[in-house]
Structure 1
Amino acid sequence: MTLEQEIAKRRTFAIISHPDAGKTTLTEKFLLFGGAIKTAGAVKQNKIRKTATSDFMEIEKQRGISVATSVMGFEYKGMKINILDTPGHKDFAEDTYRTLTAVDSVILVVDSVKGVEEQTERLMEVCRMRSTPVIIFVNKMDREGQNPFELLDELEQKLRIDVLPLTWPISQGQNFRGVYNLYRGQLNLFEPDQTRITEHYIEIKGIDDPELERWIPSAFRDQLREDAELIEGVYDPFSVERYLDGSLAPVFFGSAVNNFGVREMLETFLEIAPSPHEREASERVVRASETALTGFVFKIHANLDPNHRDRTAFFKICSGTFERNKFYHHTRLGKKMRFANPTQFMANEKNLIDNAWPGDVVGLYDNGNLKIGDTLTEGEELRFRGIPSFSPEIFKEVINRDPFKAKQLEKGLRQLTEEGVAQLFLQYGNRKIIGTVGELQFDVIRFRLEHEYGASCDFMPLRYFKAFWITGTDTPQYEEFLRRKSPVIAEDKEGHPVFFAESQWMLDVAKENYPGVIFHETSEFKTKDEG
């Protein structure tokens, strides 16, 4: 198969949502349709009955939430599908933002009962920034939820994107009878079943087909026809071009836990979603069809396999063909690297591969050479954009509880912060400060340090308002700032100075007194300086 054919058969996307909207459940239904698993574990009320395939970390199993991005691949009707299942919890939004740099499109899951929630809006902002194509799946239609038309209005207003329903629910809650596929003119009757594929399709010739009377009671049938007429009058016809440029989101209705309404979305997604295309680097735009390999690391995870203390870098291929044991150029380090055991994932199951193509995510065994944002090429100096760290808002000092395990603690903190779980800052006297955007990250760090590294620690809260990377346009003034503010200056893990502002007022005073110092809210400036 040629490179162009390999590209055309691939779809790489992320599933995103507010916590407990059904994102991980939907991921498993896709795997069920693809034959990658035989039965799916149901996730209900934030508790896992059977451990979800994509939630492989022990803390995820205990809490019933996703706190790390899982990468899964499967084939369906001749297409290679790569799913990146992301954390829904807001404390892990940074991991999700980085993951969105590695996908070509997104499926956004919305709870029909709760509607558009805070985290959904934040994630959509990132999609808008990148003009990422979005499909919306309105989940839990078997529960009493919002009126579908009111929900469509809310989607448009809060997510700031035009929407168009491609399927439509026949009632909801206890009276939920199924969905009508407006896009294909098919009727799908609802049969609740959480473990098997049980969709009952009825071929009809449009919404006015008398055949409808055999399957749907008159009250529901009349309402469906009325709704379909209103949709046709209010919404413009579906435009694939508008979907691909990120200005129109198709909407599907269903119940992921019951495997219902998922197939319609999956098959439409395969038809309209983009295959891997071009990606912007600092130096130029890279096309997927170029024969030379390029790609970047968007995530690092230690100890995916608890039996082996491994460290895996998730590498997104942007162009060319990846080959096992071939030497590639590491642009940041300026050296050659080859990978003897590249893998691809089905959740926590890894398979050794010899080749991979644009759109694929490859797991690269790493002994510490790779960092988030690193680029590999066949020799060209490239650096892909848009994988920054963000300014943390919660700061705690690390207190070692077991001096005999100091080395284990050092290793664990280094590896976990290189994964992007949190940010590590070092001060005078080897004082370690962890910065995060949410409290839950500290629970994850403490848990993983204990269970994966045999180290234990406490966290002492620090009263800092925010952290800022600093650079200077006036060297004497910059050096004076570093000297005078040394008690609230630290270094990130790469040695860049960081200023801890104790309040907004203190930050404003610092900016006023030191106009030659620049305060950066993300680490993106480093990419420009080092590129």
Structure 2
Amino acid sequence: MSTAANEAAKSGSTEAAAEAARRRTFAVISHPDAGKSTLTEALALHAAAITSAGAVHGKGDRRGVTSDWMDMEQARGISITSAALRIDYRDTVLNLLDTPGHADFSEDTYRVLSAVDCAVMLLDSAKGLEPQTLKLFDVCRARKMPVITFVNKWDRPGREPLELMDEIEQRIGLRPTPLNWPVGIAGDFRGLLDLTGGGESAGAGFTRFRRAPGGAAKAEEEFVGAEQAAAEEGAAWSQAQEEVELLGEIGAVYDEKSFLAGESSPLLFGAALPNFGVGALLETLVRLAPAPAPKADTEGRERPVEAPFSGQVFKMQAGMDKAHRDRMAFVRISSGRFDRGMVLTHGATGRPFATKYTQAVFGSERSTIDTAFPGDVIALINAAALSVGDTLYDGPKVAYPPIPSFAPEHFAVARAVDAGRYKQFQRGIAQLDSEGVVQVLSSDVRGEQAPVLAAVGPLQFEVVSHRMAEEFRAPIELAHLDYSLARRTTPECAPTLHALSGAEVLKRRSDGELLMLVHNKWRLRVIEREHPDMVMEPLLAGGVDPGE
């Protein structure tokens, strides 16, 4: 390599490292209805990425949730697919990956968690830790991912803040370290004490919030000194002061090492809908969330962020642009600089992959992106050759570990309503399989015209039915199967297991794995006892398996 080429390579490496240090890539996880999409918009609003925020069924000048682009999402008021939003805030680039809150779409959320460096765990002030929150936190814990906790809806009646702290520590073993503290109980939100400067700053006063008309703009903020706070807030101010003193006594103080190790969690309070306390969360992400770090490949070797380009597909999505009906691959960049038009190597096939059409996605809005760096998420258009988990790279070969799947719990046979639309039926099922909307299973006995759809939750079947009818004009009918568990097996064991009552062996189209479907865990235990030499391995994903 010439001297000029060496200098160019060094310059590119330095640029990639510097740009990576500016990135914060995180996901928001929660139980349904905790306010996740609302918080996503509130963060974008505070970073001046949008001019007004709104609920799904907004009124007046309030818009629909920016990150919920699918018709079903806007109609139901829930997030069904994950969405990648890039927000430039001061000198920091925030890559916010909004995720489905509904338990039926856990698999999509798990794929997103494989692409981020930090998670914001959103809790409802009244409900605390809920089942879906616990399940997703288990995935974060398995990945040793740093977690920031935001207690939402403090403007509504809820539980005591110390009680919520105790629940977090007792139920998931994560030590909360408050960065601010509410003045006023849940439902009587007076404002927030800033604890980042220690006890002295906490006693100096607090920030009071005044909701903007309709809640569509940033809330007005007013700092109230201690003397004025004592006179105006009375018992609420005194109680907050006493609780802050108690926090100091029990040592609930932020510690960077334990936070990055996934052992403690910075804790903040607020209310996303009226935009109370959202600015503090934004500042916390900039200040505390980790920047992209070297990623280990399948051999355990770490590829530095300044190495030549590499990235991994973590999500496939079609139908985002109804006018073009294209197929989009979301790629998390792990190393190097990306330039639109560069020709990469597709790790799965070794073939070149051109990147002429590359975009940044903000909900349903798109913009062409010319350059990107580690931590960024890019959307490659017309990426029919790519699948979830695929590695793309430039320069030295690299392969990143595959992204595991959740074990399905619901199964149904799909058939085309109109036999004359069978080609469209085949194409639609294959596309939804490649996107990971459902897992598609097949066997010689059932035939290609009657694939078995495997899902984490039944709402996934509704999404499949909706998209098959609307996008592919191939309506389907579903016949649900009486299975609730899946286990991985081998070609040698398949004939024996397939012949058993209450069991069936099918092949997963995406990777060729053989899965044994079983009616329930009791039937599985009988089979395991009677056939101890048969291979029946759990399908684990981040330590989450419904059959355990």
Fold match by TM threshold 0.5:
yes
- Which range is displaced more, 173-182 or 113-122? 173-182
Work out the CA distance in 1 between the residues paired with 2:366 and 2:18. Answer: 25
Q: Structure 1 residues 425, 116: closer, same or farther in 2, change over 3 A?
A: same
What residue identity is the alignment partner of 1:262?
A: V
Identity between Structure 1 and Structure 2 (%): 37
Paired residue secondary structure (2:515):
strand
- Pick one of 39, 53, 58 that aligns with 2:71: 58
- Pick one of 275, 287, 290 that aligns with 1:274: 290
Work out the CA distance in 1 between the residues paired with 2:190 and 2:73. Answer: 34
Is residue 309–residue 395 contact of structure 2 (8 Å, CA) maintained in 1? no
Is residue 12–residue 83 contact of structure 1 (8 Å, CA) maintained in 2? yes
- 1:72-471 to structure 2, matched below 5 A, reads 72-184=85-197, 185=201, 187-193=206-212, 194-202=215-223, 209-213=226-230, 216-385=232-401, 387-428=403-444, 429-430=447-448, 431-471=450-490
Q: Structure 1 residues 322, 515: closer, same or farther in 2, change over 3 A?
A: farther
What residue identity is the alignment partner of 2:35?
A: G
- Which range is displaced more, 184-193 or 506-515? 506-515
* Paired residue total: 514
Q: Which runs of 5+ in 2 are unaligned?
A: 1-13, 542-548
1:483-517 residue CA offsets vs partner (Å, 9 max, x unmatched): 74698222111333222223435434544555554
Work out the CA distance in 2 between the residues paired with 1:18 and 1:509. Answer: 35
- Which range is displaced more, 483-492 or 170-179? 483-492
Deviation at residue 385 of structure 1 after TM alignment? 2.3
- Provide the residue aligned with 2:4 in structure 1: none
Work out the CA distance in 2 between the residues paired with 1:364 and 1:485. Answer: 45
Q: Structure 1 residues 49, 407: closer, same or farther in 2, change over 3 A?
A: farther
2:517 aligned with 1:500: yes
- Provide the residue aligned with 1:481 in structure 2: 496
Deviation at residue 241 of structure 1 after TM alignment? 1.6
- Provide the residue aligned with 1:2 in structure 2: 15
1:377-432 residue CA offsets vs partner (Å, 9 max, x unmatched): 22544332251122211111112111122111211111112111111111222231
Deviation at residue 113 of structure 1 after TM alignment? 1.1
Deviation at residue 272 of structure 1 after TM alignment? 1.1
- Which range is displaced more, 318-327 or 353-362? 318-327
Deviation at residue 175 of structure 1 after TM alignment? 2.7
- Provide the residue aligned with 2:49 in structure 1: 36
For normalisation by structure 1, the TM-score amounts to: 0.91
Work out the CA distance in 1 between the residues paired with 2:133 and 2:520. Answer: 29
Q: Structure 1 residues 479, 30: closer, same or farther in 2, change over 3 A?
A: closer
Work out the CA distance in 2 between the residues paired with 1:365 and 1:139. Answer: 36
What residue identity is the alignment partner of 1:96?
A: T
Q: Aligned-pair RMSD on alpha carbons?
A: 2.3
Work out the CA distance in 1 between the residues paired with 2:324 and 2:121. Answer: 35
Q: Which runs of 5+ in 1 are unaligned?
A: 525-531
What residue identity is the alignment partner of 1:421?
A: V
- Which range is displaced more, 348-357 or 183-192? 183-192
Deviation at residue 294 of structure 1 after TM alignment? 1.4
List structure 1 runs of 4+ shifted beyond 4 angstroms: 482-487, 512-516
Paired residue secondary structure (1:251):
strand
- Provide the residue aligned with 2:3 in structure 1: none
Is residue 286–residue 319 contact of structure 1 (8 Å, CA) maintained in 2? no
Work out the CA distance in 2 between the residues paired with 1:150 and 1:352. Answer: 47
Work out the CA distance in 1 between the residues paired with 2:194 and 2:56. Answer: 27
